[in-house]
Amino acid sequence: MKKILLLLLFFPFLIFGQQSFNFLHDGLNRDYIYYSPNNLALDAPLVFVAHGFAQSAQGIMSFSGMNAIADQNGFAVCYPQGTTGSWGNNFWNVGYDFHSGVTVDDIDFLESLASFLQSNYQLSSNNTFITGFSNGGEISYLLAFDGSNVFKAFAPVAGTVFPNGTINNLFNPNMPAPMFVTHGYNDNTSFYDGDLYDQLWGPYLGVDTLVDFWINENSLTNFNVDTFPDLNNDGNITISKKHFSSSTNNEVWLYSHNNGHNWGDSDIVIEQEIWDFFSLFVNNTTELTENNNNNKKLSSIFNLLGQKNINTKNTPHFYIYDDGTVEKKIILE
């Protein structure tokens, strides 16, 4: 039986919003950055943001703008880092021709890391999402095809799929999934129409092929088309096409623009659009409350290092309530 030992009230505590960690997976120490906004609620959503080829977790955190969106909307962010190849470039193993023979299992790594973060920070196991740029978008696609249900919705940016890649059930996922694709018509790295004869990366599929697959997989029958204003008068128009159906909550969005291999377009805040898409699929949960005489609500939990929502037995934790009070407790077995 659990016993709660109440030690003292109004105890000072520390907060660290961004921290770098290692996660041991398949004998490899994998790096990731975890970002938690102040006063993050228990059972909050979690968003993964995967970097591109030769980029880093720190790099995509800097240019994606997702921390600011997390602050505004109350979710945690994980920036995982791929392994380093023989040329010294960080990458996700998605099946490039020049990675032939590479055996690192990034799909299982990301799914395992997501489950670990959900458990250790008391984040939502139902509301975990992934986006990524370029190579990060490609691993996002593969996670959707994997169909493990660890990630609930997917938002690849400027990515593609390599049919000779590393996943066995390509185009045969275990379940339908919400999908939000962003891609530029003038992308000269990952051509919008794909390239089945590419001699460097290997053959890869076009955007419309991938979007049409997920439309059919989700049995979507309706769509809306809209055009974003050309705020900068630069001619880089972004068109949104949103597919939906009355028979399912899942949707498939496509944002196409006239720009190149970029994180969105200058007329839109792509990180906000990504969260707007993910938020459609957030399951609301009952807010946790502490049973006491005044029914004050529990907002968050910190350990002595300032880490949020890590529920370790037999060590002190600070329980923060919505009325400003703080209790220091130890949960004993």
pLDDT, position 4 = 42
Tell me the whole-structure pTM to 2 decimals: 0.81
User: 162 pairs with which residues across the strands?
Assistant: none
User: Could you say which of 1.10.540.10, 3.40.50.1820, 3.30.2130.10, 3.40.50.280 is the CATH number of the domain covering 14-288?
Assistant: 3.40.50.1820
Interior/surface letters 23-45, b for 16+ CB within 10 angstroms, e for the rest: bebeeeebbbbbbbbeebbbbbb
Provide the residue ranges of all domains of the chain, joining segments of one domain with +. Answer: 14-288
Residue 212, C-beta contacts closer than 8 angstroms, at least 6 positions apart: none
What would the pLDDT profile of 97-156 be if each residue is shown by its tens digit?
A: 999 889 999 999 999 999 999 999 999 999 999 999 999 999 999 999 998 899 999 999
Measured CA to CA, the distance from residue 99 to residue 93 in angstroms comes to 8
Give how far the C-alpha of residue 42 lies from the chain's centroid of Cα atoms, to the nearest Å: 18
Bridge pairing between strands 179-184 and 248-257? parallel
- Give residue 8's pLDDT band: very low, low, confident or very high (50, 70, 90): very low
